[in-house]
């Protein structure tokens, strides 16, 4: 239920076989009825534009896909509206300064005022309407936070819940072995032949011998000769776990001792010299070691359960009827 955290989404999805929908008299027909509110086609269309950050409501060539999409969007919209109504009924309010702060963040995220205005124009919202959307988002988030806090306060066996969550998925809370490496990289030319590859291999052996025999600084050398963008940071690749790098690179990196420099390692792109800066063993310290991660997971699960339960009750109480 990430919609509580991101009420306005600006990611444009790739709709296959979709054309802009036309505005007709059906735009003013109800699509959802309930004892709380009635939502019209115009409400749904507006929500879709905001939800997906697009300028036109998609019109699928396949009528079944169109209906599935519209039903999903209508359910999402009615859930949001009912939840927000319930929050306001419970007296949930927010400081107007929070809205201003959030909008300022959005402007910065969009790249400035001009790009932000272009975004609003694309989804057909005024600044005032956008402000109301943000306000609703923040109220909804505060409401779910309060529901979760009340549930946590009344929980009788929180420690038992933590232990159960940990024992069910112990591997989820175990940090894998990680290594911190630097590398010097020489890239193969496009369509390199065997002779060109062998020349680079000879060069890398020479560089390694020079570092070992002269005590040259690996990071400084990487900064001056590496073909990888990481060269500007002394070849620093940071920390990574297994299965995050190409197999040959990973095998060499994890076989090194701290401070050791590898023989030249061939990958699809070229040859590497790898220096192991630090190794961090896998964290297998049990529940106490992973306690913070387990607590976050339990809280996230409880949050989702409370939200789903609350929305189901709101739907039942409002006697929601979809008319699509």
What is the predicted pLDDT for the residue at 3? 37
The answer, yes or no, to whether residue 90 has pLDDT greater than 50, is yes
User: Looking at per-residue confidence, does 84 or 296 come out higher?
Assistant: 84
Distance, CA of 7 to CA of 304 (rounded, Å)? 16
Q: Which helix (H) or strand (E) holds 47?
A: helix 41-52
Distance, CA of 181 to CA of 158 (rounded, Å)? 40
Using 50, 70 and 90 to split pLDDT, how confident is the model at 2? very low
Percent of the chain with pLDDT over 70: 88
Burial class (CB in 10 A: 0-12, 13-18, 19+), 123: buried
The answer, yes or no, to whether residue 152 has pLDDT greater than 80, is no
Distance, CA of 204 to CA of 222 (rounded, Å)? 12
Question: What does the domain layout of the chain look like in residue ranges?
Answer: 2-159+301-322, 178-280
How far, rounded to the nearest angstrom, does the alpha carbon of residue 107 sit from its chain's CA centroid? 20
Q: Which CATH architecture has domain 178-280?
A: Roll (3.10)
pLDDT mean across residues, the chain: 85
What is the predicted pLDDT for the residue at 226? 94
The answer, yes or no, to whether residue 88 has pLDDT greater than 80, is yes
What is the predicted pLDDT for the residue at 167? 77
The answer, yes or no, to whether residue 156 has pLDDT greater than 70, is no
Percent of the chain with pLDDT over 90: 56
Domains 2-159+301-322 and 178-280 share a fold: no
* 239 touches 179 (CB < 8 A): yes
Q: Across the chain, where does the E strand assignment appear?
A: 18-20, 30-33, 38-40, 58-60, 178-187, 236-241, 265-266, 270-280, 321-322
| Span of 20-24, 132-136, 210-214 with lowest mean pLDDT | 20-24
* 119 touches 164 (CB < 8 A): no
Intra-chain end-to-end CA distance of the chain, in Å: 23
Q: What is the mean pLDDT of residues 139-157?
A: 83
For 188-222, the pLDDT digits (tens) are 999 999 999 999 999 999 999 999 999 999 999 99
Q: Let me know how long the chain is.
A: 324
Q: What is the mean pLDDT of residues 101-130?
A: 90
Distance, CA of 204 to CA of 196 (rounded, Å)? 13
Nearest CA-CA partner of 254 in 228, 280, 272:
280
The answer, yes or no, to whether residue 147 has pLDDT greater than 60, is yes
Distance, CA of 296 to CA of 203 (rounded, Å)? 50
Tokens read off for 73 = 């969007």
For 31-57, the pLDDT digits (tens) are 888 888 898 998 998 898 888 877 888
The answer, yes or no, to whether residue 319 has pLDDT greater than 70, is yes
- CATH number belonging to the domain at 2-159+301-322, selected among 2.40.50, 1.10.287, 1.10.4030, 1.10.8: 1.10.4030
Q: What is the mean pLDDT of residues 130-159?
A: 85
Token match 């409002």: residue? 318
For residue 55, the 8-state DSSP code is S
Tokens read off for 231 = 């060269």
Distance, CA of 103 to CA of 2 (rounded, Å)? 19
The answer, yes or no, to whether residue 19 has pLDDT greater than 60, is no
Distance, CA of 52 to CA of 289 (rounded, Å)? 40
Q: What is the mean pLDDT of residues 225-251?
A: 93
- Residues 289, 293, 295, 297, CA torsion sign: negative
């Amino acid at each position: 239920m990430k919609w509580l955290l991101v009420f306005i989404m600006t990611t444009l999805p790739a709709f296959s076989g979709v054309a802009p929908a036309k505005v007709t008299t059906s735009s003013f027909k109800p699509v959802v009825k309930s004892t709380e509110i009635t939502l019209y086609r115009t409400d749904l269309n507006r929500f879709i534009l905001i939800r997906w950050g697009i300028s036109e409501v998609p019109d699928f060539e396949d009528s079944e896909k169109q209906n599935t999409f519209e039903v999903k969007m209508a359910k999402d919209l009615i859930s949001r509206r009912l939840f927000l109504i319930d929050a306001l009924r419970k007296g949930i309010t927010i400081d107007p300064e929070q809205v201003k702060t959030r909008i300022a963040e959005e402007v910065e995220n969009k790249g400035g005022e001009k790009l932000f205005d272009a975004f609003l124009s694309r989804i057909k919202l005024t600044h005032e309407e956008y402000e109301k959307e943000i306000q609703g988002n923040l109220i909804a988030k505060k409401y779910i936070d309060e529901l979760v806090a009340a549930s946590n306060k009344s929980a009788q066996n929180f420690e038992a819940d933590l232990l159960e969550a940990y024992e069910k998925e112990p591997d989820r809370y175990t940090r894998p072995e990680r290594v911190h490496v630097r590398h010097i990289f020489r890239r193969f030319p496009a369509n390199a032949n065997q002779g060109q590859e062998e020349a680079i291999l000879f060069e890398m052996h020479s560089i390694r011998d020079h570092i070992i025999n002269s005590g040259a600084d690996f990071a400084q050398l990487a900064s001056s000769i590496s073909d990888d963008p990481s060269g500007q940071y002394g070849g620093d690749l940071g920390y990574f776990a297994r299965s995050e790098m190409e197999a040959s690179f990973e095998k060499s990196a994890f076989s090194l001792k701290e401070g050791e420099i590898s023989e030249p390692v061939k990958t699809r792109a070229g040859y590497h010299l790898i220096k192991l800066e630090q190794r961090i063993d896998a964290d297998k310290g049990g529940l106490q070691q992973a306690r913070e991660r387990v607590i976050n997971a339990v809280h996230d699960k409880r949050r989702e359960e409370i939200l789903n339960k609350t929305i189901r009750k709101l739907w039942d109480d409002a006697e929601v009827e979809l008319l699509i």
